[in-house]
Amino acid sequence: MKEGRISGAFAQMSDRERKLVVGGGSLMLVALVVVAGLLVSRKVAAMEEQVAANGEALSSILDAAPSYLKNRREEKAIEEALTQAAGSSLQSTLLSIAKDVKFERKYGNDGTSEARLSDFVKFSNATEILADLTQKRGKKARRKKSSKKKAKGAKAERQVFLSTIEVVFDRVPDGALFQFLEKVETHKDALFGVSLDISRESPNHEHFRAKLQVGQFRYGGGDDE
C-alpha cells in the first residue's frame, strides 16, 4: 500500500523533481559510503599504530633481554656465594687456605724442613655485623614483614652480614705470604682484604710479620626464622 503511494507520488512528479529526488538519494548513498570508509580507515590506522607500538615494545624487550639475563646470572651467583659462605666460619675457611700453602723452613746452618703456613697463623678480633645494604632497607623490610605475618608459607627476608677477622702471621717468608694473599683474593667464597700491615722481622729480611684483616659477606639470622 505504501509502496503504491510512493510510486504514485513519484509518477506525479515533474522531471526536474524526479532528478532532484534521485540525485539527493545518490548523494546520501555516497555520503554513507564515504563515512563508512572513513570509519574503517581510522580503525585500520589505529590498529596499525597499535601493531607498530607493540613491535617497538617487543624490540625494546629483545634489546634488554641480554642485559637482564646477565644481571640475573650475577644475582644468582651472589646468592649462591652468600648461601655457601653461611655454611662455614670465616676463620675455618682462612685456616684451610693457610694449610694449602707450604714452604721450606730453615733451621741451623743448612737444615730445612717443609712447613705449612697454618702453623704460623693466629686469629683475633672476629666480628660480625649487619651489613649496611640490609640496614638501609630495615624499616621497609620490617613493615613488609609485619604486613605478611599471617601469610602461610611466606619466606622471611634473609639478612646479609659482614664478617671480619684479623689474621696474624709471625716470621713467615714473603713467598708464602703472597701465596696466601692470592688464594684469598681468588677464593670461591668471595673473600676480600680490608687492611694489610707488613713488617720485616728477621735480621736478613727474609721473614715477615703480617697482620691482615679479611672480610666476607654472608647470609645469617633472617633465613632461620
Render 195-206 in DSSP notation, one character per residue. Answer: EEEEEE-STTS-
User: pLDDT per residue over 202-224, tens digit each?
Assistant: 665 567 888 999 998 888 754 44
* Sign of the dihedral through C-alpha 133, 139, 142, 144: negative
User: pLDDT per residue over 140-171, tens digit each?
Assistant: 445 444 444 545 555 556 788 889 999 999 88
Does 115 score more than 70 pLDDT? Answer: yes
Task: Label residue 94 by pLDDT band (50, 70, 90).
Answer: very high
Domain boundaries, the chain: 2-61, 86-148+155-224
Taking all residues of the chain, what is their mean pLDDT, rounded to a whole number? 78
Pairing mode of beta strands 111-116, 121-130: unpaired
Task: Label residue 43 by pLDDT band (50, 70, 90).
Answer: confident
Please tell me the distance from the alpha carbon of residue 7 to that of residue 204, in angstroms, as a whole number: 131
- Closest to 133 measured CA to CA, from 157, 99, 109: 157
Does 9 score more than 80 pLDDT? Answer: no
pTM for the whole structure: 0.56
pLDDT on residue 225 = 39
User: pLDDT per residue over 46-75, tens digit each?
Assistant: 888 888 888 888 888 888 888 888 888 888
